Structure 1
Amino acid sequence: MSENEWPDPRLPDRIEWSQPHHDPPPGRARALLAAAVVVLVLLAAGGIAWRLMSNRGTPVAQPSAPPPASTRETPPPCPEPKLRVAAAPEIAPVIQRAAGTLSQPGQRCSEVTVEAVEPGTALAAESQPDVWVPSSSAWLAVAKSRGRVYTAAGAPLAWSPLMIVGPEAMSGLFAPNGATSWTGLVQGTIQKRLPAVRMPDPTLTTTGLLAVYAIHQATAKANPDAGIGQLQALTLRSRLENAAVDPTGLLGQMAGQTDSTAAAYEVGVFPITEQQFLGYEKAGHDVRLAGAPPADGQVDADYPYATRKGAPADLAKRLRAAITAEALTAAGFRTGATKGALKLPADPGALIGPARQWAGYKAVAFQVLLMIDASGSMNEKITDRSGRTVTKASLLRESGASAAQLFGDDTSLGMWFFGTPRPDSPAHTEEVAFGPILGSTGGKLRRDQLAAKIGGYRPVVNAGTPLYQTVLDGVAEMRGHLKPKAATVVVVLTDGSDGGTKYRMSDADFLKKLTGGVTPAKQVPVIAVGYGPDANMPALQRMAKATGGQAIAAKNPADLAAGIAQAFLAAHTRP
């Protein structure tokens, strides 16, 4: 019996009843016994109550009845952490667990906070972390170029190669015999063999940044003309189902699929890291992924542990030591670089430049009139990048075949050749009538006719160059095709200057006619490509500026395809 259940010790331990000289009757005896029990209970209760009331005012704990919420004590808020860490989402959980081992037993507040954030987002944030673990060392160079210096502490924590993956049921389309390639991804997209292709934002994610770089490297290597390779890379960009997906969200979307065929269309093919692939497969989702690192451009995501100046050095060092190789490998990372992986450029601009182009690309309906110089100077011989002696015209024919495949299905286009083989010749001839690229003209699909006409391009010797008149006519033509939410442009390619024809006019007259009476709503930008060292770039720059377009110098005639690619990109990235 507890103390609170026992009578006060000053009360008698027992109560003696005075007994009469004779025994009471049995009924009375039972009544007396009952009365005695009642008295004992009352005395005991009275003793307890007396003790409680005489406890000198000291409150007694009542565990079965907690105090009101208004009087309950709340713990003080935790102070600001001493070390702030930003880490790529896939490695952040490993670092978070390591940070937990630094706390003392019973310690409620941690000295380290870890935030899972994509590198581009971390770099753009106003407040910078003390420790940064992006998913590529390339981001440290990018940060330095923007005045934010982080110093890597030793070798990267981990590595993980990029893979091209998709639903297992469609692996034969993008990974024949279990092998993948960037050029295969490009060709599969151009030829419409793949239901959908998606790419993470290259300005925010390492997967997107490295994939864009690797694609450009692979297509350039696969083609003798780097410009054609750039055209192919841009073709993939123009036909992406989505160019700014979140890798983590994309895997979450895939995890929610129950049918592999449906997943092929709703999610499709995309790049992720090997670590993300292994984590997905380990979870055992209904739709399994298949894929491999691309054979024509393996590239590693690596995870540097970098600190900024002024960060708590001792705590940062302790945290790095707490991140073990065992924890990283258990999470699906590698502890060494992939043999033969692409070496990334030291200049961060070589990575960020293409990434910004891709991110700035606008997937809008595209209306374009191609106007190609067919004057005699296009028959001049030049030396291409492989050392061949060719003509400017032959290079244009080769590049044009690739250009015909560049335009998306929502494109409307037309093509003119301009040049005057005779004094009375018109300034230009219509080779492909303007209209939808999937529409028919002359008994052929417009895309096929475009390729055929460029393939048959033959400039006439001694033909003049009615450049200005052709531009005026082309701009006037396309003003009649202007549509809301569509990119409507004129692309003109020339290797010379206006002259040698009855259409010749002064620069002042041309610009006056080009801009006279034109409202902003009726403005058609001119994308002018100067082809070769003799192109009149000042004149091209003036017409581009007057119309809100862009002038592009392809000074080496072997760079023609690159010039066409830049013109295409400029049309899709106009503000």
Structure 2
Amino acid sequence: MVRVQPNTPISSDAPTRAAVRAAQRRRRSLLLLGVILVLVVAIAVVLGIFLTRGTGGEPEQEPASTSGCLPSSLRITADPALAGALEAIVADLPSSDADCPDVTIVAEDSAATAAALAAGSAPDFDVWVPDSAMWPARATGQAELTGVDAADLVVGATVASTPVVFAATAPTAAALESAGAGFSSLAGRAVAAVLPDPSTVAASSAALLALQTAVGGDARAFTALVLGLDTGVVPTAADALAAVSAATTPTVAVTTEQALRKYGQETQTPLVPVYPADVKPALSVPVVTLAEAPTDTLEAVEMLTAAIAGGGGHLAEFGLRAAAGTAPDATTDAAGTGAPAEPIDSANQAEALRTWQMLTAPSRMLSLNDVSGSMLQPATADMRRIDLFEQAAVRAVNSLSDDSSLATWVFSSRRIGGQDWQEVVPFGPLGDPAHKQRTIDTANGLDSLVGGGTGLYDSVLAAVQYMRDTYVPGQVHLVLLNTDGVNEDDEGLDLPELLAQLETLRDPAKPVAVIAIGYGPDTDQSALEQIAAATDGAAYQALQPTDIGTVLIDAVTQRGCRPNCG
């Protein structure tokens, strides 16, 4: 039966049953076709979503810029050794569209950039590419030491490297390689070495750290090496290489593989790299940014870093190795393997530089000498304590470089009214023959000043205070205290009061160390050790007469490694 909607008239030409069934079949076919079409569309959507997912099931991130532009302009400060390679790499970035953000590269010596940052100058870069990771460590360390509010640096990935080598003429190189020469050879004085100024050339500070390793960390041996190398220090790597070319005896220059290659290309000088057989330092080139850099700048830096990492061809073109350090071509080490050199710890390298600067800086030394009555006591069958000290003092004066300055004070008790100390020779340069002779004559005549008790503590405080008040930047400030007794001034400071005053005077930016030497068994060595510790100095004791000269010379020459000479 066919249901008809109410009030709908039945037409005389209404369809037959067969016609109705045919119409129903057509409607079902159309419905089925629609369902199929819907399913096809749904499957296509699902497949599209699946294909846009990464391997971890998350949608792929859209590229930072579909045009290949960096998301932000970049101001790059680069060491001159890196600037050329960076320019070539930046030129190869995906887009050269004039509408893309600008990338500017300024070449500046890494030492100059680090010094400006350490002094608190505002960075004028978004990215810093120094020739060694030592420089940002140096900048940060110097700022902390001097209390400067400096920029917060973030040291990123290493993007390039170059090994430290010895540059030599071909005959010298052949002899060194056959002997398996390394930094231990420099330590053993087997070959003369020319060192570019470590304060401006990172290869040299890396070499200093390698020398420390070669002598097993022995501070005294390292000090002797550094003082010996000081005469072979020249301003630049080019100066060092030129000195080797002109040398008439076997000589090497400490430099990098890249610097040697560049020098050879520019001068056509046939020097050969010798790859050290023991310690194999390499300079690691980092990308350095600022902690407060905005997100778009960091994204641009990330793209730049990736471009440098993939720019091995341009790095090799400018004599650099990739971050891994493996030689990119026929360049090999002494063993012929082309193996990578060893990255060095940037903080330790910066510390090696600081030690070198301390050791080689001019000394400003105040010699504070005990002339109390006990100094007239016999030390040997025919010599008094003061006689032995006079001889040792003359030797110490002669051990100091001409660019050092020296003053001589004496102390006993109530030398000038109630004051225990007295200046007998004011400060002057030892390079001045008249001042040096006056200092030596005074040392030889100290016995004429002997008398009274030992006014030790007040004299020490006065000497340290004077050195702080007259501090000269760039010099090593020392008070060389020589005494044979204990404090005998009951009206002056006691030891706790002296130590408290020394702590108040302590200033890492203006260090004044007390190097104390006690002569004989009657010395209050415990007090001397506490005084030395309060000033980051050192205390010695010479129990035998023959110890005095050795101890005094050692105290003078070990100034740069205090308080960790061992």
Q: With the length of structure 1 as denominator, give the TM-score of the two structures.
A: 0.50
Distance 2:78 2:529 in 1: 47
1:352 aligns with 2:341: no
Q: Secondary structure at the residue paired with 1:287?
A: coil
CA displacement at 1:206 relative to structure 2: 2.0
Query: Does the CA-based 8 Å contact 2:163-2:281 persist in structure 1?
Result: yes
Corresponding position of 2:85:
94
- For 1:331, the equivalent position in structure 2 comes to 318
Q: Which residue of 2 aligns with 1:63?
A: none
CA contact (8 A) 2:166 2:252 kept: yes
Shift of 1:169: 5.3
Match of 1:320 among 280, 294, 305: 305
- Shift in Å at residue 271 of structure 1? 1.5
Cα distance, 1:429 vs structure 2:
4.2
Given the alignment, which residue of 514, 523, 526 partners 2:480? 526
2:514 is equivalent to residue 552 of structure 1:
no
Question: 8 Å contact 2:79–2:109 — kept in the other structure?
Answer: yes
Matched to 1:148, the amino acid is: A
Code of the residue aligned with 1:207 in structure 2: it is A
Following TM superposition, by how much is the alpha carbon of 1:538 offset from its aligned partner in structure 2, in angstroms?
4.3
1:163 CA drift (Å): 0.8
What's the counterpart of residue 236 of structure 2?
246
Query: What corresponds to 2:455 in structure 1?
Result: 507
Q: Structure 1: how far apart are the matches of 2:376 and 2:182?
A: 41
In the alignment, what sits opposite 1:495?
Answer: none
Shift of the alpha carbon at 1:313? 2.9
What residue identity is the alignment partner of 1:276? A
Q: 2:556 matched to which residue of 1?
A: 567
Residues of 1 paired with 2:276 and 2:424: CA distance? 42
* Cα distance, 1:96 vs structure 2: 1.1
Unaligned runs of 5+ in 1: 1-80, 372-416, 440-445, 447-466, 491-501
User: Contact 2:127–2:289 (CA<8 Å) still a contact in 1?
Assistant: yes
Paired residue for 1:161, among 156, 160, 163?
163
User: In the alignment, which of 176, 184, 197 is matched to residue 200 of structure 1?
Assistant: 197
The amino acid of 2:262's aligned partner reads G
Would you say the 8 A contact 2:182–2:279 is kept in 1? yes
Alignment map for 1:259-408 (pairs within 5 Å): 262-263=246-247, 269-281=252-264, 283=265, 285-308=267-290, 309-310=293-294, 312-323=297-308, 324-335=311-322, 336-337=324-325, 344-345=344-345, 348=347, 350-362=348-360
Q: Given residue 223 of structure 2, which amino acid in structure 1 is its aligned partner?
A: L
Task: Give the C-alpha shift of residue 328 in structure 1.
Answer: 1.6
Distance 1:426 1:233, change over 3 A: same
Change (3 A) 1:550 1:306: closer
CA separation of 1:263 and 1:272: change in aligned 2, threshold 3 A: same
**Aligned equivalents of 1:562, 1:426: Cα separation in 2:** 17
Q: Is the 8 A contact 2:87 2:105 kept in 1?
A: yes
Q: Which amino acid aligns with 1:278?
A: R
* 8 Å contact kept, 2:155–2:288: yes
Equivalent residue, structure 2, for 1:181: 182
CA distance in 2 between counterparts of 1:436 and 1:172 reads 42
Q: 1:367 to 1:217 in 2, by over 3 A?
A: same
> What's 2:49 paired with?
none
Once the two structures are TM-superposed, the CA of residue 162 in structure 1 deviates from its matched residue by 0.6
- Counterpart selection for 1:210 from 189, 201, 206: 206
Q: Which amino acid aligns with 2:316?
A: T
Contact 1:212 1:355 (8 Å CA) reproduced:
yes
| TM-aligned CA deviation for residue 301 of structure 1 | 0.6
Equivalent of 2:152 in 149, 154, 157: 149
Letter in 2 for 1:552: A
Q: Which amino acid aligns with 2:92?
A: T
What amino acid is aligned across from residue 103 of structure 2 in structure 1?
A: V
Instruction: Give 1 or 2 for the bigger CA radius of gyration.
Output: 1
How far residue 565 of structure 1 moved from its aligned partner, in angstroms, is: 5.6
Query: Residue 167 of structure 1 contacts residue 289 of structure 1 at CA under 8 Å; is this kept in 2?
Result: yes
Query: Aligned pair in 2 of structure 1 residues 95, 509: CA closer, same or farther (>3 Å)?
Result: closer
CA distance in 1, matches of 2:536, 2:154: 40
Helix, strand or coil at the partner of 1:291: strand
Q: Is the 8 A contact 1:163 1:292 kept in 2?
A: yes
Once the 2 structures are TM-superposed, how far is the Cα of residue 418 of structure 1 from its aligned partner? Answer: 9.9
Are the aligned partners of 1:87 and 1:134 in contact in 2 as well (CA < 8 Å)?
yes
The Cα of 1:362 is off from its aligned counterpart by 4.9
Q: Percent identity?
A: 17
Q: In the alignment, what sits opposite 1:420?
A: 378
2:407 alignment partner in structure 1: none
Equivalenced residue count is 377
1:473-484 equivalence runs, <5 A: 479=425
Contact conserved, 2:532 with 2:539, CA < 8 A, in 1? no
8 Å Cα contact 1:201/1:209 also seen in 2: yes
Q: CA deviation at 1:287?
A: 2.9
Alignment RMSD, CA only? 5.7
CA distance in 2, matches of 1:149, 1:434: 47
Q: Please state how far the C-alpha of 1:100 moved relative to its aligned partner.
A: 2.2
Aligned residue for 2:80, secondary structure, equals coil
Report the alpha carbon displacement of residue 537 of structure 1 after superposing the two structures with TM.
6.0
8 A contact 1:237–1:358 mirrored in 2 = no
Q: Structure 1 residues 538, 343: closer, same or farther in 2, change over 3 A?
A: farther
Q: How has the CA–CA distance of structure 1 residues 142 and 427 changed in structure 2, closer, same or farther, with 3 Å as cutoff?
A: closer
1:135-170 superposed Cα distances (whole Å, 9 cap, x missing partner)? 23344444555453344554x112211112234455
Q: Is this contact kept in 1: 2:283–2:343, CA < 8 A?
A: no
Asked whether the equivalents of residues 369 and 478 of structure 1 are also in contact (C-alpha less than 8 Å), the reply is: no
Aligned residue for 1:121? Answer: 112
Note the 1:28-67 alignment, pairs <5 A: none
Give distance in 2, aligned partners of 1:113 and 1:326.
21
Q: How much has 1:83 moved relative to structure 2?
A: 0.8
